[in-house]
Each structure stands twice: as C-alpha cells, then as structure tokens.
Structure 1
Amino acid sequence: MTITAPAPSPTSAVAPHVQLRLLGGFELRIDGAVVDLQPAVKRLTALVALTPCGLSRDFAAFQLWPDKSEARARANLRSTLWRLHQLAGDILHASATHLRLDDSVSLDTRDVLAGADAEDGVPRPFETLMADLLPDWYDEWIDVERERFRQLRLARLEQRAHAALADRDAATAIQLALAALAIDATRESAHRIVVRAHQAEGNEWEAERERSRYLRSQQEVVA
C-alpha cells in the first residue's frame, strides 16, 4: 500500500527573508535575490520604511506626487502599492488609511541605529555608520530624513567611542571619533573624545595637536 504524505499546510510555509538596504543606495532582496523595482515603487517603500510608526496614505501620496491633484496622487499611490505587492508581496501593510513596513523586514538603518552591532556573531565594522542615506536621491522629503539620520549616526558613533574608552580601548575610541569627524569636521564632542583617548594612551602631544586641529576648524567656519 502506498502512503501519500499530506500536502503542507499553507500556514506552515516558511516566510521569505526580506532585506531592505537604504544606506549607500536602495536595494531590496528577498531570499537573497535582488528585486528590481520601478522608481516610484522604490520611493514609496523607502518613505514608509523611514517612518517607523507608519504614515497615512494621504501623506505618502502628497509627498511622492506633490505636483498632482489629490485624486491623481491617491490613484498613483494605489497603483504603486499594487505593483509593489506583485513584485515583493506584503512587505508593506496597507490599511484603508495607513501604511507601515512589515516587522519581519530587515532594515539596515533600523538595525544600525538600534545598536545591532553583531550579525551572525561577527561584530559590525564602524564603517557601516559612514554610508549616506540614499545618496543618489534628490527628492525634497529625503533631505529631512538624510539630516535626521546624519545626526543619529553621529550620536551612535560617539556612543560607541565612549563605550570603547570605558573598556580602555583608546585606539578604537579614536577611530570611531575620527569617523564622526569625517562626517562633521566641526563636531566639538567628537574632538573631545579624540583628545581624551590620546590622553588615556599617554600621548599628550597628540592630544594637543587634536585641540589645535579643532581650533583651526572653528576658525575656518567663522571665516
């Protein structure tokens, strides 16, 4: 007698692994494969992803299509949501009034800023905080998000630098603080970390040189 195994229940299917990258450029991967999206679909996905608590459908429509009538913008949103669903499934939750990113989606900006400093047991290099948010995008709405992320990653770099100092790892603290200064050369708090780290190593000459570098940067700003 032949026994046929029962078909797997639809609820037992393994959910796809979805990764969304916004740092250094847009990329969506599902189970490791890159999903090719149209520009409007990318922009909608990024806008929703950068709003952790979600946003209203009308706000998304008017942000993405500011030069269209309200009716046209809403219609564009509906068609864009349909295209996204066809290509990537339900990575966005869309109610009658609101949109939000599905919690299962791995989002690089969220992971980095939440302090997820290890992936598969391997520590993340601090360079992950150096990448700009969607650097090749010029939409007006992304400017605010880009500046917000810049401030958050500066704070995160300094937080990690302070932790390194507390662990008596002055060399790592210096590298993290210098990474912050590569983003904002006039940031006083990062200069102070570099000075403290050099002093912790007993390098008073290096500490004084860093003080002088900070003073020069301030003079250049005033000039």
Structure 2
Amino acid sequence: MESTFSFIPNIPIDAQWSQNGKTVAGGNEKGDAPNQFKKPCGLFVDDDQTMIIADFWKYRIVQWKMGDTNGQVVAGGNGKGNRLHQLNGPTDVLIDKATDSLIICDAENRRVVRWSRHSGTTQGEILIDNIDCYGLFMDDQRYLYVSDYKKHEVRRYQIGDKNGIIVAGGNGEGAGLNQLNCPTYIYVDQQQTVYVSDNWNHRVMKWNKGAKEGIVVAGG
C-alpha cells in the first residue's frame, strides 16, 4: 500500500533561505473568484506540489497547481450549510492517498468529512460528528489525528471509528503540562509523537506516544 505520509526532508543545518517569499496562490484581494480566497486556513501539499487549501469564509476546498493563476473548487463551494454537498468554515484538509479522497475538518458544522477526488463527486460523507475540530493529520499507518479546540484535546482515530483515543490533553482547559488551551494544528512523526499548536497557551507542545503530559518545545 502506498504511504499516506509525507516525510519532512533532511534540511542541512547551514541551509540558506531566500529573503523574500513569493505568492503561489491567491494574492488578489479577498473574494470568491477562482484566483481569490477569503481567510485561507489549513493546507496540504501533495508530492507534485499541488496545494489543497481550506478556504474558510468561502466554504470550500480549493486545489491549486503550482504555477497556475487560478484554483479549482474540489469540495464544497455550494454556499454555507450543513448538507452533504456543503461546508461551513473548513479549517484543515489532507489527502488520504489510499482512498484517493480528501479528509476535511468542517469546523463550523462540527464534523470531519471525506470527499472522493474522483471526477463527478458532488458530496461528501461524515466520518466523525459532534466534534469541535480544527486540525487534522494522518500518519503512515492511516491513523487520523484530530484536535478538538473546545475539549482541549487531540484524539487518534482509525478510519470508521467515531470515538478515538486521547493522545494529547484531555484534562480540561489550562496551562499545565498535561493540558491544552484551544489546540489547533497538529503534526505527527514516525514514532507517533504528536506536536500541537497550543493556541491560547501561546506555545507548541510535544506529546510522546503514551505520555500523560507534554513538553514545551516552542514559546510558552
């Protein structure tokens, strides 16, 4: 089975970065035209550098190929709503290569949904509901990690499981090492170590697999 996981390359310690960035998607004021966004949030970059972007206030997921001047709506884009062909405030998205589908944090609808990438797809399906999700990640074993910014926790799910297990936080809102406060985006490495943007604690936390508390690795 092809891995769903994108590895971070080894970056030399003396790597040099360009002093100026360049716009690769959007940059044409806010709006709903094919070359515009309104509050783009999470994104996923595929192996061929195609970007999949959650366009929060336009209730859609946009695919943008590197070098293109316009994006393509690949999920939602049918106005704000909670029907299966609609999204409401998507905050994050990833590609599940095993099923060639998008998994989307449909935040304002309090659900995680899946949309096939096959042509002709007109609606998604609900994977997890009644969750105040914000960030998503899938590891190389196809475990899905989801942050819940109101329960102040991150859970790990097998696809099809609606309950999951807590892998970070879950001890109420707070600044203790066993707590989170509005967790948003997440990353998981090969050892299933979970890195969490702990938003209102102004820090990034690292939770080793099975740990009861995290380690502050940035900010705090």
TM-score range, shorter chain: under 0.3
Greater RCO, CA 8 A, separation 6+: 1
Greater helix fraction, Structure 1 or Structure 2: 1
Greater strand fraction, Structure 1 or Structure 2: 2
